[in-house]
Structure 1
Amino acid sequence: MEYTHLSEFEIRPGMLSIWTPELPGAAWQPDARPLTSVHAGYCAGVDPADPLPGRGRWIGTVFEMDAPFLAQAWRETLRRWHARHEGLRTTVDPSARTRLTAAVDDLVLAEQPIDGLTDGTEINEFLRGALELRLSPLVWPHCLAATVEHPDTADFTVVVAADHSVLDAYSQAILILELRALYREAVEGLPSRASATFGSAADFAVLERAAALALQPSCPAVTTWREFLAGGSMPRFAPHAQRPVEAGLPQPSVSRRVLDLADLERVEAALDAIRHRLSVAVFAGLALANRQRFGESGLRTVMPIATRPDLRWLESMGWFVNVVPVDIALTDTDGVADALDRTRAALRRARTAGDASWSRVLELLQVAETPRFGVSFLDIRVLPGYELVADLRGRTLRAESYSPDEVFLWVVRAADGLYVSTRYPAGFPAEVMEEFLTEFGHALRAITAMESAPAPHAQLVAAAHSAADPVGYAQAPDASHGAPDPLTGAAQVG
């Protein structure tokens, strides 16, 4: 499944409607359950007077429902979805920054048809503007939906967008089949599927905040972060390569296939032979590419990981993500085998911080700086029904960012290959990013040479450069399914 901007998704012409959940003011009740550490910090950093609160913040999903559009059934679908997930009926008291929660009884879904707007490109532009304007972590609703009915093909496009405080990347992916199932149940007049795995994100927050408050400066997680930040600041991605540009420019975005399925399966077979996991290979490949292209002695970054602690929250909508530090130190003579070993050790060190709220740890360390360079790996086959999601043209979406210094990479093991998506500052040369991603592909291909005999890094890179199959530049297709991360036991998502 491609992680991209809405502007890069071709919406077919049709009839657009915006669907907004509404609740009377009296429905909101004080909720003693806390916000998670990251949620509270996130809200504290938002200007309540910002006229475009969703700018650079919202995330979402787009797909095509394989059924005719029935307005009443869709209305009921959204009502059931909000009833199921308490996090969609939670907001923040703007004065006290405490939780408010509403029961579903008074919730209604208001439809706003957008008359006279049927061109797909114009619909896309309209939605991007509306989401920047309307989505905020401080003002409910934090989640909106749009439908584009296509009468000629008897189906419709669905866009779901939310402030990051109520969705994470795993939520973005699983909501496609959830909404599809809810819609079919509503159309057929069936009750919704019951499950013990739709746990409340607010209940998770109770556990997370208690664990965060229990952290002490002597805890292993704090020590791991302290050592990571011993140099004085969060890592940056190739800051010396950036050129000065005017402020406020949107970040470029790249999405491409690094390995096709045949290449990827050869790499995975080689990894099986030497007892390494694909997640280790991905980070080792990035470290080798960083050394090859920028002369860096490895890779220092942060990694988002899923924090759904048990099955109770497996299908929940919410923000279940922590961040851990990854420090892969290479020598000038390290080959691929050395890089894999050092990377596995680095990822194991990162595990010591997996259950500790990164925002609380930074607070204990008196570090105000937030991460500027992150890498996420996800084997998307962990998600159920990935073949169907591909047929529905499913995409997970991120808002365009305007950061002058952030770089993020999302690496996905999809059904037909390995993909990478990235966003980076407007002042970072596109050709330099392309060269880095190409080196990443070369480093991964070099792993296959390890099946027969070890070889120095330079020989392996040379062999990879001469491989018959070039690095693919195709846009990532709609794949979505994968296995849990071998080190964390959970899919790593941002």
Structure 2
Amino acid sequence: MKFIQMMDQPVEPGGLVEWSPYTDGGLAHWKADSRPTSHNHEQHLRSAFEYRLRHRREGGRESWLGLAIDFDEPLSIPAIRSTFSMWIDRHEVLRSHVVIWADRLARMTTPPGSVKLKMGKVGWYGEPGPLLDQLSGTFDRATAPLQWPAYIFATVARERSFTLLFAADHSLVDGYSLIMAQHELVSLYGASRRKVPPELPAVGSYVDFSAYQRREADAAGSDHEAIAVWSDFLRDTGGTLPGFELGDDAEAEPDGEQLGQASDAGEHAELTPQGSITAELLDDDQTNRFTAVCSAAGGSLFAGVMAALGAVYADLGGGPVLRCVIPRHTRGDQQWFGALGWFVATVPFRLDSSQAADFGQAIGRATDELRRVRKAANLPFLRVGEILGQDFDFPEPKFVVSFIDLRFAPGNAEADAGRARVLRSHIYSADEVYIWVNRTASGLRISARFPSHGRTHNQVARFLGAFGDFVTAIGDQSTYGKVTRE
């Protein structure tokens, strides 16, 4: 299943309809909800509010995630309307909104059945380029985090097929949510077409989880196990979150010179969208062989990926220690497994590749580090900063590596074969480097976003190419699955 920037893969042209949620009377008839929001959500909203105050506009800090699902059948308008309505009723996070009031946040929620859908016929598109431009612009505008709804649906219909699209601000969804959502939406649509009840398990509410996590985090103190992990990491980095840097590169232009941007990298208006790539690193057989090497060293595929990144980082001049931030999901209870929401925490990761006798030893070190830092996921980073007494000014991580095994999700094989893909918005940043490595039914996929020009762009491009070569070479050394002939 691809995780891809919206503009990097065309949608087959057809008739575009945008489906906008609304409630009669607007937010005036919603009920006040005493459940507090999560630290993630608060940090996200306050950052968006500060951006609005500085720039007096919403655009330029897009942070939405989305989904595109292809159906090999004609679009049924009644069935798709029913699908969207049932899905909104199923996930309370789509019927809840948080407002910033001076020094506090206030939540409002509306009950199931109260959200309706406005069908807006945009027109027929004969070419993918203008269609993508329209969809991307609509998604950018419709997912601003300070408004409700911060999400929107769209359909592109053709004579014998159609594409369902969805986009939502990151505060409402994460990658796991959308991996599960593609199966949910396919199931809901099929049930609506057959006029039968959908066969889907019950799910919990992210609003409930937010309240639970907030209370747990606010009750934590300096003795929480996550504090020791983060304190050690921040001492090592001088109190800052690490960035991606391979060292001096005389042939690369300095970051920003080709962008015509202001000296302040935070001035999004002066930046161009980041560059991005999506590719298949290894097929299924190659991934199995690479995984066998990891297992023989006592580690997982995740540990092997991190060890490989560390080895390549050192080889290309980044130094013997790889430092980054890793997202870890917080779906610790079965009720959250299929819930829509932002169930993600960040943990620090540090891997010292110096004096490693071989790649197996590097895998062992990565395994130990992943085990050591996972306890840091039990406390949101914003709360960590509060306890440590440091004003991080709502920092965004600069160098992030994510790993997800998608094979657990219902319908993953069909999605990976091309039925569905997870979408992400373009991002404006001069220094962020995000890398996603996913194990799918077909193998190992990589997706990344990074500065579109300059030194970091060139360094990341070299780094990702070398990483692909490295994991391929390691897998080729394995005898797993190879047939020997006498």
TM range, normalised to the smaller chain? Answer: 0.7 to 0.9
| Paired amino acid for 1:124 | L
| Partner residue, 2:243 | 236
What is the CA–CA distance in structure 2 between the aligned matches of 1:309 and 1:333, rounded to whole Å?
Answer: 34
Superposed CA RMSD in Å reads: 2.0
- Residues 324 and 353, structure 1, Cα contact 8 Å, conserved in 2: yes
| Partner residue, 1:110 | 118
- Residues 59 and 162, structure 1, Cα contact 8 Å, conserved in 2: yes
Which of 408, 412, 428 in structure 2 is aligned with 1:386? 412
- 1:174 alignment partner, SS class: helix
| Partner residue, 2:220 | 215
| Partner residue, 2:483 | none
| Partner residue, 2:328 | 305
| Partner residue, 2:149 | 141
- 2:376 alignment partner, SS class: coil
In structure 2, relative to structure 1, the CA distance for the partners of 1:186 and 1:448 (3 Å cut) is closer
CA-CA distance at 1:449 after TM superposition: 7.8
1:372-383 matches, within 5 Å, as: 372-383=398-409
In structure 2, relative to structure 1, the CA distance for the partners of 1:445 and 1:74 (3 Å cut) is closer
Provide structure 1 residue ranges, at least 5 long, that are not aligned to the other structure: 453-494
What is the CA–CA distance in structure 1 between the aligned matches of 2:298 and 2:138, rounded to whole Å?
Answer: 49
1:70-219 matches, within 5 Å, as: 70-95=76-101, 96-151=104-159, 154-193=160-199, 195-196=201-202, 198-219=203-224
What is the CA–CA distance in structure 2 between the aligned matches of 1:277 and 1:74, rounded to whole Å?
Answer: 41
Which of 228, 231, 242 in structure 2 is aligned with 1:226? 231
Which of 56, 69, 72 in structure 1 is aligned with 2:75? 69
| Partner residue, 2:13 | 13
In structure 2, relative to structure 1, the CA distance for the partners of 1:330 and 1:108 (3 Å cut) is same
1:306-455 matches, within 5 Å, as: 306-332=329-355, 334-365=357-388, 366-368=390-392, 369-426=395-452, 427-428=454-455, 430-445=457-472, 447-448=474-475
CA-CA distance at 1:333 after TM superposition: 5.2
| Partner residue, 1:34 | 36
- Residues 347 and 377, structure 2, Cα contact 8 Å, conserved in 1: yes
What is the CA–CA distance in structure 2 between the aligned matches of 1:272 and 1:58, rounded to whole Å?
Answer: 36
Provide structure 2 residue ranges, at least 5 long, that are not aligned to the other structure: 262-270, 480-486
- Residues 82-129 of structure 1 show CA distances to partners (whole Å, capped at 9, x for unaligned) of 111100001112435221100133321100000354432211101111
In structure 2, relative to structure 1, the CA distance for the partners of 1:299 and 1:191 (3 Å cut) is same
- Residues 304 and 322, structure 1, Cα contact 8 Å, conserved in 2: yes
- Residues 47-85 of structure 1 show CA distances to partners (whole Å, capped at 9, x for unaligned) of 346533474311101121233211111111111111111
How many residues were matched structurally? 449
CA-CA distance at 1:204 after TM superposition: 0.5
- Residues 4 and 421, structure 1, Cα contact 8 Å, conserved in 2: yes
| Paired amino acid for 2:243 | R
What is the CA–CA distance in structure 2 between the aligned matches of 1:357 and 1:161, rounded to whole Å?
Answer: 25
| 2:68 is the alignment partner of 1:45 | no
CA-CA distance at 1:212 after TM superposition: 0.7
| Paired amino acid for 1:320 | F
- Residues 326 and 349, structure 2, Cα contact 8 Å, conserved in 1: yes
In structure 2, relative to structure 1, the CA distance for the partners of 1:175 and 1:54 (3 Å cut) is farther
What is the CA–CA distance in structure 1 between the aligned matches of 2:186 and 2:321, rounded to whole Å?
Answer: 44
| Paired amino acid for 1:2 | K
- Residues 271 and 447, structure 1, Cα contact 8 Å, conserved in 2: no
TM-score normalised by L of structure 2 = 0.88
Greater shift after overlay, 68-77 or 40-49? 40-49
| Paired amino acid for 1:195 | P
Runs of 4 or more above 6 Å deviation:
449-452
| Partner residue, 2:484 | none
CA-CA distance at 1:389 after TM superposition: 1.4
- Residues 16 and 118, structure 1, Cα contact 8 Å, conserved in 2: no
| Paired amino acid for 1:22 | Y
- Residues 235-269 of structure 1 show CA distances to partners (whole Å, capped at 9, x for unaligned) of 11017455333231111101222223332222222
- 2:171 alignment partner, SS class: helix
In structure 2, relative to structure 1, the CA distance for the partners of 1:239 and 1:272 (3 Å cut) is closer
CA-CA distance at 1:431 after TM superposition: 4.4
CA-CA distance at 1:443 after TM superposition: 3.5
| Partner residue, 1:264 | 287
What is the CA–CA distance in structure 1 between the aligned matches of 2:200 and 2:316, rounded to whole Å?
Answer: 52
In structure 2, relative to structure 1, the CA distance for the partners of 1:250 and 1:54 (3 Å cut) is closer
What is the CA–CA distance in structure 1 between the aligned matches of 2:294 and 2:356, rounded to whole Å?
Answer: 21
What is the CA–CA distance in structure 2 between the aligned matches of 1:132 and 1:449, rounded to whole Å?
Answer: 43
